[in-house]
Each structure stands twice: as structure tokens, then as C-alpha cells.
Chains A and B, each alone.
Chain A
């Protein structure tokens, strides 16, 4: 039986997620798959992703993965990465598409006109590089990772949610934005743990061992 299924919907560099997980969880059986039945049977599910949201949602539907991803988000340890975080929300400004609607909120572009620091420096979009992640809740996936550790980001859109109790971390660029959320069996991050060196590997290893408290 598959311990961890990495959902392949044809977007992004899934191989880096696989390689990092193999390193972080050497005894787990891990597959990259677009087969809904394998995702259905897996104990844990990771939805990574890069690229444009409209393509991502379309591919998820085209490959018959939409339902099984919803199911995983409802009943097993679930990790969303980058687009995999963004798609949990209601809708995205990127191509104006509806997303999975699991968490309240939307995905918006960094406002180019507001991208300056207090001392007048211009900030570039995409937000690309290593930024500090400020943990706003205690969570098993933060185990062994110090508050304000830097993780690797690359994105032009970010999540806006009023559902404050699901926010697990924020980052500044130049204003604070939500970069991780957690609810029941779901944990999702805007940054790329698979590209974030030792701290990223630790987060993946925490996920591989995580036993969430399900809501009743």
C-alpha cells in the first residue's frame, strides 16, 4: 500500500518533491501518480504544483482527480504546496477561476503599485527567494523548525483569507501575507519545502509522521 501519493496533474516539477520526500522519509513507499484509485488508497496525499491556476484546475478535472483530491482533503493527512495551497480556497484572480472551495478566501496578485519597502526600494514580482516564515500557531509540522526560519518562495499570487484560525504562518513582502494554513487533516504552504534545504526536509519528514486530529 502506498504511504504517500504525490498527485500528478501535469504541472510543475514533481520529481523534486519526490526526491526530497525519499530523503526525508526513507522508509515510506512514495509514488507520483495521476491514477485516482492510487490517490484514493494512499495513506497520505501531497498536492504540489507550479504554473498557472486555470491550467491546474483544468488538468485536475481532465485527469479525473478533482473528486479524489477533495476526498483526501476531507479524510487523510493532506499537504498542499504552492498552487496546492492556493487551490484550497474559493477562487483565484489568476484567470478568474473557481478553486476547490475548502477554505474561505481568495488568491490575489501582489499589487505591483504597492511593492515598495518603507525605505523606498522596489520589490520584484514574482516573490522569488528565501523569506522568513513566522509561525502563528503551534503545529506538529513545525516540530523542530524555529520560528522565522527562511524557506524558498516563488510565486506572484498569494492567499487572502479572513479565516484567521486556519492561518499557520505569515511572511512579509512588503506586507504580511498568509504563507501556511492548517485545518484538521490539512496543512498547506506557499513556499517550497522540497527546495528549502534542511528545514524543508524537516517539514516533509514531519508530514510523513503526522497523525492529525480529525474533526468529529
Chain B
């Protein structure tokens, strides 16, 4: 027995509320972040990830209050991503109670930010989020490239090379999202997940595409992920985190129960 594979529910936050409807039987559509975080915590979530999808920077500070409220009551690790542009943003989120901070677009615009943040606060709290998509350029074999701005902008950067570079700069973990699969409920891009996970020594969280519990199992066993992140299967109450863990345990995956 050793380290457990992690299950991480992801909460999309905007204007201080969790979006994506939540239809737990007794809760009926509450968007209160603390209440939702507590529910996942009770179900045995290993960590929680909050993604700030706020379009306007005016509302950005609301996430700090959410993190403060959640961190005062929920005693498992919290990761916050979205809108992190400078080391000062990392500090503000950590001070509010985040344990790890996700850096995505800003890492592409300024890779030194990852090094500076890891230097100041330690690699353990710097999660580099990679949005990758398969591209087919003429006469070349298909490959995965890094996209930014929520998957809208191509960068031309090879995702595997980028993952290795982020590890070298000091990332403590990678949150890997397949743009091809995100929202499809067809499962993770297993080839992508495995290629990245095998290429680096730091933990990789697989994200994007989970539609059922087999997908979580595949992400670990075939994708070689260290943790699996999912939103909708938990948000819509189709499965509890506990059910997901039981299912993974039945497939000989070590989980915290």
C-alpha cells in the first residue's frame, strides 16, 4: 500500500457563485461555494479545484472571499486557477487560503513567472495548467499543441516539450486538459495523458471529458495520471465522489476511503 490516486472535483466560479447547475437531491440548485465544497468534502474528495472563469477583472477579487470562506471550514487541499498573471496574484491566493495556484495563459506569455513563483513559494504550490489540442499540419504527423485563453488561441508550442519545460522551471504539478475532449463526456484523451505523464517526473492531473466512472479508471490505468479531475459528473449528482472511489477500488486502484 502507498500513495492513493486522487479524485478532484472542479468548481467553476464566477461572480462569487459556482456555476454549472448543482442538482443534489436535497440541495436543489444552490450555487453557494461553501455548501458545495462541504458536500464534496463529506463525500471524500481528496482535493478541490476552483476555477475562476470570471470575464471581468472587477469581479476577480470575489474569488478571494470564497477561498477564505472555504478554507476556514474545509480542511483538504484547495487549488485555485484562473486569471493569475503575476507573483503578487499567487501571493494573494495563498494568503486567502489556497494551497496551490494554477497558472495557465500567463505561463505561456511569461514562463519566468513559473520559476519566480516556485522560487518564492515552493514548487509544491505551483500547478501549471496545460490546455492541449491535437493539430494536423500538412505533411507532418499529428501532435498536441498548447492553447491559451481558455483554448481559443493556438501557440504552436508542442505540449510534451512544454510539460518538460514547466517541470524544469519549477512546476510542482501539471493540470492537463484535452481541449478536444473537454465537455464531450467521451473520456480523457488517454494517449495525450499518457504521453505527458510518462515524459515528466512530477504528478499529472488528467482533465477534460469525463462522462462516467470508467473514464476515471482509464485515466489512471491507461493514461498513467496521478489524479483525475471531473466537474459535471459530480455537479449534476450522477455520481458521488464516494461512488467513484468505490468503483476505482474495484479496479485495483489505491484510493483514500
Contacts and interface: CB of A to CB of B under 8 A. Distances in A.
A and B together in one complex: yes
Interface of A: 11-13, 15-16, 19-20, 23, 50-52, 112, 115, 117, 121-132, 148, 150, 152-156, 172-174, 194-197, 200-201
B202 A125 contact: yes
Given A16-B97, A195-B99, A201-B75, A129 B122 contact: no
B201 interface: yes
Q: Which 10 A-B pairs have the closest CB atoms?
A: A51-B122, A130-B256, A124-B203, A154-B124, A130-B4, A150-B256, A131-B3, A172-B2, A50-B122, A19-B72
A174 B3 CA distance: 9
Given A13-B97, A124-B203, A23 B75 contact: yes
Interface of B: 1-6, 41, 46, 71-73, 75-77, 94-99, 119-125, 172-173, 198, 200-204, 224, 226-227, 256
Contacts, number: 108
B76 A129 contact: no
Contact of A16 (B2, B4, B71): B71
Given A124-B204, A194-B75, A201-B75, 19 more contacts: A13-B94, A13-B97, A13-B125, A15-B71, A19-B72, A23-B73, A112-B201, A123-B3, A126-B123, A127-B3, A128-B124, A129-B4, A129-B46, A131-B3, A150-B4, A150-B256, A152-B76, A195-B75, A195-B77
Contacts of A173: 2-3
A205 B125 CA distance: 26
Interface centre among B96, B97, B124, B198 (most CB of A within 10 A): B124
Given A130-B3, A152-B76, A16 B99 contact: yes
A13 B3 contact: no
Nearest to B44: A197
A62 to B, nearest CB: 15
B121 A51 contact: yes
Nearest to A198: B75
Contacts of B226: 124, 128-129
A56 B234 CA distance: 39
A128 B75 contact: no
Given A51-B121, A129-B6, A150-B256, A13 B173 contact: no
A52 B1 contact: no
A152 B100 CA distance: 13
B125 A195 contact: no
Contacts of B5: 129
